[in-house]
Amino acid sequence: MRKSLAVAALLTNLLCGATAVRADASLEDVRVARQVIDALHLSDQMAAILPQLVDAVGRGLTAHYPQHAREISEILPRLKVKAAARIDEFMSLMATALAPKLSSTELRELRSFATGPRDVSARDDFARSPTGIKFFSLREEFKREMRERGEQWGAKIGREVDEEFKAELKSRGVHL
């Protein structure tokens, strides 16, 4: 469990890099990178974040239009479901960011680590391996890139949720 959480936290903070280390990531590399992301259950973390994003948009609209608070709160649950359906999009974005940063062999080794035994020994062995050393040495770069990509994606989803809120309110006869 600790290995899973440690690597999941690292990947969540790291993976959406805009700068590729190698430009020739194949579809197979992206597929393997996605398997790593899936094995670490990163979509579960995003599933916890997205409802908060929708709630934030709802709070913003309620603050500006308190007279429509009831309608806004009625719309929230449906928009949370729609936003949750977009998690796969972000996980794919993460995979396409991770794939070019490691060689095909390194990606397969990372996948083996992510899907392998969950113990301290396995974590330590991976951390001492050439792939582990490389992976962990890129930590700060990955964190920065992940933050940038995550902010861009989150802003995009936030705008879409805001637009959907307004469209739904308009369909109910509420004009903002």
| pLDDT confidence of residue 22 | 56
Q: Is the pTM of this model over 0.85?
A: no
Helices (H) and strands (E) in the chain, counts: 9, 0
In terms of DSSP H, where are the helices of the chain? 2-14, 27-39, 42-64, 69-84, 87-98, 104-115, 120-128, 130-137, 139-171
Please report, to the nearest 10 degrees, the dihedral formed by the alpha carbons of residues 128, 131, 136, 141 taken in order. Answer: 160
* pLDDT, tens digit, 9 for 90 and up, residues 80-96: 998 888 889 888 888 88
Distance CA 5, CA 36 (A): 13
